[in-house]
Structure 1
Amino acid sequence: MPKFNSLYARIFAIFWLTIAIIVVGVLAIPNLDPRKSKEIPSDMYQSMLDARDMIENRYAYDRNLTFILQDLDRHRIQPHRDRNRPDFFITTQSGKILSGRIASSETYRALKNFTSSIDYSDEPTQRAYGKYRISGPIPIILAQQPLLLFVGFDWNGPPPFVIHLLDHPIQLLLVIMLISTPLLLWLAWALSKPAQYLAQAANRVARGNFIPEPELEKGPDEFRVAGRSFNQMVQAVNTMISGQQRLLSDISHELRSPLTRLRMATGLAVRKQGSSSELERIDTEAQRLEQMISELLELSRVQTDSHLQRETQPLTSLWEELLDDAQFEAEQLNKTLSFNAIPDVPITGSPKLLMSALENIVRNAIKYGHSQVQVHFQLEDLALTVTVEDDGPGVPSLQLRQIFRPFYRVSEARDRDSGGTGLGLAITESAIRQHNGQIVAKESQLGGLLITFTLPIDA
């Protein structure tokens, strides 16, 4: 037998419980209708036999049946009759009513209906007529004649709305379905809750938050196993990334050390032998190599640091000061940088990476634009779209998809003489992708390059 904390066991148990409720409601409840003939409980049947014996003993020596019937009628229709005291009715063995004085026409009609609808060969039964119930027949001998005894008494029947439902099966079915609906809703909630936890954890990992989620290891066995495997995967990824980070740190140290010694040796050679074009060329290439290594390591850190602790900050605190500084730098170069209001909404991510992403694009636009740079922010459907365009030489349309590749240069505008290494836009693309965003490059209407990236915003 499967454990009850298994998902399949829960589904199986709740499904059959719901089916049982519906079956009981549709089949069993109508059979509980008190207006249908039912067997008499044993204790009640014994009470009726005792009442029969009492009446027989009381009139054992009376031979006048009319007198006996009148005496029974007189006790039954007293003005202040005890409602807890039963009424006794006498009929012939064929069901003809002998009791003459009956309190009300409703009682008479109920007795007449009961005596005419029962099978006298079967065991005694009982049936309710509104707030009055009749039971019988019990064989009795009065005035030396074999007769039948029926017992009537007041009772508190079910509420009127229950009788109404019993008379309307469709409404009864709707009520039963309404009762079973909470069980089905609870089942849907119980099944969807672990799945929602898993989906939320997967979304956090997709956004770069490699944090194990203890809630995933609770609930049904199937989800608990999946959650445990998911957390183990997250921990393994964290371990792998930490190992890569340590490797990058070691590579940085090992590469920078010989470069530093090379530049020191070049400086000593210049001091001893004087400056020459060859030594200057060596020093220039060493500087470029050092810059390239620094930017390559920065790119690697961007690609691996997304699992670090992230923060939720307003966009204005991230980019407003950055754009103000860029605007000042553009003015020093006799260029114009304009931007609209930054949306005042929060965003979750690495502040350093988000600032670096926009800064690389804006500084490239300032560097290669002739006179103007435009930055535009647009917020729509929980997504922020940022466009940066310039009026510079631009990029050939066939190379627009290539500019985000590491070390890629466009010879017409970004050659080696510009001092670039081809890693700035690669760093930006990686930072945007690590924040679950997208970035594309197009031709600008200003004549230069237009770069657009989109980032999801917290709800």
Structure 2
Amino acid sequence: MPNRLFIKLLLGFWLCSSLIIALVGLLPLLQQNHDKAPLAPHLEKVLAGVAQRMQANPSLIPSDFLRHWERHRSMEGKPLRLYLVNSQGQVINTNRVSRSVRNFMLMADEEKHPISHQFKDELVFGPYAFSLQGEPYFLYGRLPDSHPRPWFFFFIENKLLTLSLAIALSGLLCGLLAWHLGKALNSLKKSANALAQGDLSNRVDSATTERNDEIGELASAFNSMADSIETMVNNQQRLMGDISHELRTPLTRLQLSLALARKKGQQSTETDRIAYEAEQLERLITELLELSRAKLSTNETKVHLGLAESLSQVLDDAEFEAAQQGKRLTIEIEESIELSHYPKALSRAIENLLRNAIRYAAQEISLHATHSATQVHITIKDDGPGIDAQELEAIFKPFYRPDSARQRESGGWGLGLAITEAAITAHKGNIKAQNCQPHGLEVTITLPA
């Protein structure tokens, strides 16, 4: 089966160029057909009358008969000029022959019968053939005459403008074809970018998938691929959550056994170590479950609420924690900011960022929230040591902890920022980190308003 997209491109450009060539090529033919007409009876009667007088009196030919006749005759108040032509094509009654008359003689000779032709400001007609003393003669007439010209004459007389319009029309038609193809490709590109940024629910619109060409087939294949990826990733997250949940059962039994051993007086350095590691394992499992819930967004529904109200408890806790460490937290949130969000997920994301900032800040931490018509911007900044530039994007990956300025001394497993990134992605937002000058780290969250 022929390539349908190839056929669209071929027919589009071929029809476009053919249409322009046909329109431009038809203009001279339209002009010729409009101006050229059979010789009118009243004009033929005038030429026949003059010819009959010369046939009746051959001596009129070398005389000024025609010039004298023109002075006393007119048609509808317009002067009539006559041209007598011999068999050699020479005009014998005057030496002044206009270019239009000469052009008409050639035109009439090709037609082989009497015609009339409307030039820009005169009407030329003939020839009326007659013979005198065995010699053929031809009589032509010219009459000043102008009449309204059709619209296409404007384009014939203004060739540069006609060429410009043809180029513009060609560009318009090709532009429509390019838009028809580019719109679908742009929709496909947006969906691919959204999928790459973690929005697994994004799909190519139905207008693109319903196209009966290769682009429509590609869009359908892309949606099928996106469905498979979303299912696979969700299954993976559910598996991680299920495994983490199942690990709690043997861990609970282990902690219960330790409690019973301590109750029986069997406490030792080894049991204390086992209890510590069990506690660490409990915290790890809790964070894994939190990461799974954040990625699946199955633990709560969205609400439309003011940002300051939604984060009030988290901000109070952060101010208290900063004060306990002798550091200052500055909070600036516009009261008018409202958005649809998952309160627990967003609060956990901001809480993780604020705790990191407080932990590594020297003295100052700040949180600023502003909004525009379409977005909400939240910026958390500290004056700590910052992070190596090559690690700025990796810090949001699960189990990643930088070995540079922010050390591993805090413990943890590198899941806090991964949970934050998952929560922001669930809101269809984005998060990025960058170092400040002369030192410090700034994390910016952008959410749809």
Question: TM-score, with normalisation over the residues of structure 2?
Answer: 0.70
Q: Which residue of 2 aligns with 1:104?
A: none
State the SS of the aligned residue for 1:276. Answer: coil
After superposition, what is the alpha-carbon deviation per residue over 1:292-313, rounded to whole angstroms, capped at 9, x for unaligned? 111123334545659x998998
Change (3 A) 1:312 1:286: same
Instruction: Write the distance in 2 (CA, Å) between the matches of 1:436 and 1:63.
Output: 105
Q: Which residue of 2 aligns with 1:172?
A: 162
Matching residue's letter, 2:230: N
| 2:212 counterpart of 1:224 | no
Bigger Cα displacement from structure 2, 404-413 vs 331-340: 404-413
Matching residue's letter, 1:264: L
State the SS of the aligned residue for 1:244. Answer: helix
Question: TM-score, with normalisation over the residues of structure 1?
Answer: 0.69
CA apart distance, 1:116 = 7.3
Structure 1 residue runs without a partner (length 5+): 82-86, 100-107
Change (3 A) 1:78 1:338: closer
Instruction: Write the distance in 1 (CA, Å) between the matches of 2:124 and 2:402.
Output: 103
Matching residue's letter, 2:105: I
Q: Which residue of 1 aligns with 2:111?
A: 123
Q: Which residue of 1 aligns with 2:314?
A: 322
CA apart distance, 1:430 = 5.8
Matching residue's letter, 1:212: R
| 2:194 counterpart of 1:204 | yes
| 2:382 counterpart of 1:389 | yes
After superposition, what is the alpha-carbon deviation per residue over 1:318-373, rounded to whole angstroms, capped at 9, x for unaligned? 65663344224434665432234469778898765544333112123435667x44
Change (3 A) 1:397 1:221: closer
CA apart distance, 1:183 = 0.9
| 2:432 counterpart of 1:438 | yes
State the SS of the aligned residue for 1:118. Answer: helix
| 2:289 counterpart of 1:297 | yes
Structure 2 residue runs without a partner (length 5+): none
Q: Which residue of 2 aligns with 1:254?
A: 246
Instruction: Write the distance in 1 (CA, Å) between the matches of 2:176 and 2:156.
Output: 28
Instruction: Write the distance in 2 (CA, Å) between the matches of 1:157 and 1:309.
Output: 75
Instruction: Write the distance in 2 (CA, Å) between the matches of 1:254 and 1:90.
Output: 115
CA apart distance, 1:243 = 1.7
Instruction: Write the distance in 2 (CA, Å) between the matches of 1:275 and 1:395.
Output: 47
CA apart distance, 1:95 = 5.7
Change (3 A) 1:137 1:403: closer
Instruction: Write the distance in 1 (CA, Å) between the matches of 2:349 and 2:318.
Output: 14
After superposition, what is the alpha-carbon deviation per residue over 1:367-391, rounded to whole angstroms, capped at 9, x for unaligned? 5667x44125488998957343266
Alpha-carbon contact 1:343-1:378 (below 8 Å) kept: no
State the SS of the aligned residue for 2:111. Answer: coil
Q: Which residue of 2 aligns with 1:77?
A: 74
Q: What is the root-mean-square deviation in Å for CA atoms of aligned residues?
A: 5.4
Change (3 A) 1:245 1:109: farther
Q: Which residue of 2 aligns with 1:103?
A: none
CA apart distance, 1:245 = 3.2
Alpha-carbon contact 2:237-2:295 (below 8 Å) kept: no
CA apart distance, 1:428 = 3.8
Alpha-carbon contact 1:139-1:148 (below 8 Å) kept: yes
CA apart distance, 1:194 = 0.9
Q: Which residue of 2 aligns with 1:10?
A: 8
Among 351, 354, 379, the alignment partner of 1:362 is 354
Q: Which residue of 2 aligns with 1:424?
A: 416
CA apart distance, 1:262 = 2.2
CA apart distance, 1:234 = 0.8
State the SS of the aligned residue for 2:382. Answer: strand
Change (3 A) 1:221 1:378: same
Q: Which residue of 1 aligns with 2:171?
A: 181
Bigger Cα displacement from structure 2, 338-347 vs 351-360: 338-347
Q: Which residue of 2 aligns with 1:63?
A: 56
| 2:244 counterpart of 1:245 | no
Change (3 A) 1:352 1:59: farther
Bigger Cα displacement from structure 2, 191-200 vs 320-329: 320-329
Change (3 A) 1:201 1:110: farther
Alpha-carbon contact 1:432-1:439 (below 8 Å) kept: no
